[in-house]
Chain A
Amino acid sequence: MSNERTSVVIRFSGDSGDGMQLTGTQFSNTSAVMGNDIATFPDFPAEIRAPQGTIAGVSGFQVHIGATEINTPGDEPDVLVAMNPAALKANLHAIKKGGTVIINIDAFTPLNFKKCGYAEDPRTTGELDSYQMIEAKITNQTLEALSSFDLDNKAKGRCKNFYALGMTYFMFGRELEPTIKWVQTKFGKKPILAEANIAALKAGRNFAETLEAVVSTYIPPAKIKPGKYRQINGNVATAWGFIQAAQASGLKLFLGSYPITPASDILHELSKHKNFGVKTFQAEDEIAAICSSIGASFGGALGITTSSGPGIALKGEAMGLAMMYELPLVVINVQRGGPSTGLPTKTEQSDLNQALFGRNGECPMIVVAASRPSDCFEMAFEASRLTLEHMTPVVLLTDGYIANGAEPWLIPDLKDNFNKINTKLIEEVDGDFLAYERDEKLVRPWAIPGVAGLEHRVGGIEKDDGTGNVSYDPENHQKMVKIRAEKVAKVAENIPLQNIEGDKSGDTLVVSWGGTYGSTHTAVDELRKEGHSVSLMHLKYINPMPSNVKDILKNFNNIVVAELNMGQLKDFMNAKFECNAVGINQVKGLPFKVSELKKRIIELSNNKSFKPVPESLEVGSQLEGRQ
């Protein structure tokens, strides 16, 4: 028996050593290769190996695959794979009522119940009554399937995630080939491990086929734009975007960084690509990391530094210095739950105020934010373009969700895109050289050591306009503060106009920014299909904002700003535009659920009547397609 459905959400969950991230990634990749659209959400603990069997040690990976456009990892999983009781306990509340729960009963022992706080076997208490439960001896069956392999039981046991994966492959009609190919490449040097994992995968698949309760369900390919695709996560896309920006500007890329979750993967990725002339410097601390980048930038590099909120807090003084120097620099904040150490592995958008205001003195910075994993490539490139063209630092905000989340990406053609950035580098001047002489955009030239005749000094003390010499003159300081602010404001002339998804006027405008795009886009799209007069304005350029934002706001009765913080963009917009925006705010360390977003948007719009969408307008026609 086989039937079809348009989408399914699966969550793989187990101990952090159980290989759940790998299992989820394999399911996602196979589905992408089979033509589905996908979105993923890895959710793992901060501890590398928390005590086995405890709730704290549960690691999860959620994947949403579909025959239509998929923009979020899904609100409620249809299927839970629980490798132990802790995984069941930690996740059951999130699973759709009536959904399927696959449990590894070999791990359902009194000791494990105790470890995660079950007073008794949850299978006997009725709490699983609302779900279709599939009990499988995942551990023992894996050992059984591998009985003829010359491996110890520990090594055999490690293959149990592939047994579970095999079960889900049957349930959703997934081809085994992509995973088999991957395993063979991965364990190329240890064929026995490759064979063992493949055997476990097949055993799991075959076991599922024997179960009467399981009906294989197929999710047909989605209608997505033709072309060549790859999977990409946000951190890799960020790293690659900067490499491309260095190529397009003819500069060498220099990354000064200090390890921090969830940003370290950008450092890891860039340190692989030395053959692009990339230099990565793992500094002794966050401050040294940014300072080394500014030093490199003074020397003519595309200097960047990567971190997360706590690290950015330490970098604040140096960010101010780069702004005073008027040198290029990109500061990347892969946001995580805060404040202080907060929730290192969870996502949040609560560093917007820090990006906008977190420095001493009058210190405006360009702030941009990536909207989804693949968009990190474009926004890393954009951040580089803006900093090089305007000679002032840029903050690029991503977050733990899009940094670790992966999606299919239509590989861009670099012949026509992302291929040129102009710098302000100069080799000579007519007459006297003035390091702080400005062009019509108020941008100064970039003269680097090694160029004769352009020797000059930069400093953090206020400088005389033009010469750059130290100046304590009151009038000059006021003038310089204004110039630096105006220079940042003028960036608005060099960024795309803001687009709107949906009608250009109406009852409610939902405003969002950064990594929540998948959720807000889906919520607004669904509300419009249900007949509500609602549009979406998703911001990627936050300071300065595109010049048409003010006019867009005028055309709506309600402005609702949805963000994963306590209202930082909302407050910023109210201060800037006096637009009476109200907020949808969540700080749970998790992305928005579409269903909750929809509910809140309706509630907050209720003071005004919803107008139905004109029939002539094809809903979704103006929605931004995936590139």
Chain B
Amino acid sequence: MTETVAYKKKDFVSDQEVRWCPGCGDYAILSSVQLAMTKLGKKKEDIVFVSGIGCSSRFPYYMNTYGMHTIHGRAPAFATGLKVHNPNLEVWQITGDGDGLSIGGNHLIHALRRNVDINIILFNNEIYGLTKGQYSPSSQYGLVTKSTPYGSVDRPFNVASLALGAGTTFFARTIDTDPKHMMAVFAEASKHKGTSIVEVLQNCVIFNDKVHDLYTNKDTRDDHTVRLEHGKPMVFGKEKNKGLRLNGFKPEVVTIGENGVTENDLLVHDENDEFLAHLLGNLKGEGLPVPLGVLKKMETPTYEMDMENQNMAIVEKKGQGDMTNLLNSGDTWVVN
């Protein structure tokens, strides 16, 4: 069944002119997704991109696959219906922090809870772009925007904690300035059987420029991000000499070589560890690095296959449905 098809990036480029602002982080994500598609071993005609409303949600128009640009926040529901109807499809959902966390928050958590085998990419730029610069559910407290001229008093969601709390079986985080990392993470998400959600820290050059500067700037990024690798100790820093260690239940940053600390003292990443995933999901601030990579990957039966199997089991038990039999079932009587 899995005959490999050799695609080039251009096979996934549609004939539509891309209309994001010059310098937008979305360009790099689009390019990485198109490249990732060549490596999935999936047929182009089996791939569907589904999106809601917002800058990121224009995405399907630029992919030369099947695509649905839907309505604000509801893409998970469209993607779920499509995947449940045809489990053979490779369904990707593109969303942003406004579309996915605000108007579509309900659909997102339920998609994650059900574990439908769809891949969600959430572009997180912590701002509404298409409506021209209002604060979003991931904007930092105090952010001055068009709708919060005196600073936002909304508290932001932590996307990782929200997704993990909703029961996602796969969570990863990547960043729009690192195409290689993005591609690798997208490929991992695709391979995962079950809902996968990838948060991309993405820059809105117009309304929230440099929001992720700490994690992208050459001078600061290495000391403020940690690249997770399954089975490897959590080492980071410009000099590759910093590490994460557990002190009781609290993670702390230590320096290798100081106070007798060695790599053996560090936390080792395990994608299958639910507890660790929650801990990593909460990692931010207080000098702690933001984890990039796959935080969690735990497989469990998917919603659509459970449904498929149930339907087949019922057919086995009752036989293929016959409408004439159904109409004549139960109490009937004959009038002469």
Contacts and interface: CB of A to CB of B under 8 A. Distances in A.
A295 B321 contact: no
A177 B67 CA distance: 60
A292 B317 CA distance: 28
Nearest to A305: B81
Contacts of B64: 455
Contact of B89 (A299, A318, A454): A299
B61 A470 contact: yes
Given A279-B311, A283-B77, A295-B82, A229 B70 contact: no
A296 B45 contact: no
A470 B17 CA distance: 10
Interface string B238-258: 000000000000000000000
A231 interface: yes
A296 B85 contact: yes
Contacts of B16: 469-470
Interface string B171-209: 000000000000000000000000000000000000000
Scoring A32, A225, A449 by chain B CB atoms within 10 A of each residue's CB, the highest score goes to A449
Given A274-B310, A284-B110, A318 B332 contact: no
Nearest to A227: B335
B86 A458 contact: no
A459 B82 CA distance: 15
A254 B79 CA distance: 14
Contact of B46 (A221, A279, A298, A449): A449
Given A274-B314, A414-B323, A450-B89, A460 B330 contact: no
Nearest to A413: B324
Interface string A274-301: 1111010101110111011111111111
Given A229-B335, A244-B323, A273-B321, A455 B107 contact: no
Nearest to A318: B71
Given A229-B333, A275-B314, A288-B107, A458 B81 contact: no
Nearest to B50: A295
Contact of A228 (B81, B86, B307, B333): B333
B311 A285 contact: no
A456 interface: yes
Interface in A242-261: 243-244, 247, 252, 254, 256
B66 A455 contact: yes
Interface string B105-122: 011001000000000000
A123 interface: no
A226 interface: yes
A343 to B, nearest CB: 27
B309 to A, nearest CB: 11
A226 B336 CA distance: 5
Given A321-B71, A460-B69, A449 B48 contact: yes
Contacts of B330: 230
B327 A414 contact: yes
Contacts of B88: 450
Secondary structure at chain A's binding surface: helix, strand, loop or mixed? mixed
Contacts of A456: 66-67
B308 to A, nearest CB: 9
Contact of A279 (B43, B78, B107, B307): B307
Contacts of B314: 274-275
Contact of A295 (B14, B46, B85, B323): B85
A65 B255 CA distance: 88
A122 interface: no
B85 A294 contact: no
Contact of B81 (A224, A256, A276, A451): A256
A427 to B, nearest CB: 11
B139 interface: no
Contact of A458 (B67, B84, B85, B106): B67
A321 B74 CA distance: 12
Given A230-B332, A452-B43, A276 B327 contact: no
B71 A293 contact: no
B264 interface: no
B14 A281 contact: no
Contact of B84 (A33, A254, A459): A254
A273 B325 CA distance: 12
Given A221-B335, A277-B311, 12 more contacts: A29-B331, A228-B328, A243-B323, A247-B323, A284-B106, A414-B327, A449-B47, A455-B66, A456-B66, A458-B69, A459-B60, A469-B16
Interface of B: 14, 16, 43-48, 50, 60-61, 63-71, 74, 76-86, 88-89, 106-107, 110, 307, 310-311, 314-315, 317-321, 323-324, 326-328, 330-336
21 contacts: A29-B331, A182-B331, A227-B335, A229-B333, A230-B332, A243-B323, A254-B85, A274-B315, A279-B84, A292-B78, A295-B81, A298-B82, A321-B71, A449-B45, A449-B89, A452-B43, A455-B65, A459-B69, A460-B69, A460-B71, A470-B61
Interface of A: 29, 32-33, 35, 178, 182, 221, 224-231, 240, 243-244, 247, 252, 254, 256, 273-277, 279, 281, 283-285, 287-289, 291-301, 303, 317-318, 321, 325, 411-412, 414, 449-461, 469-470
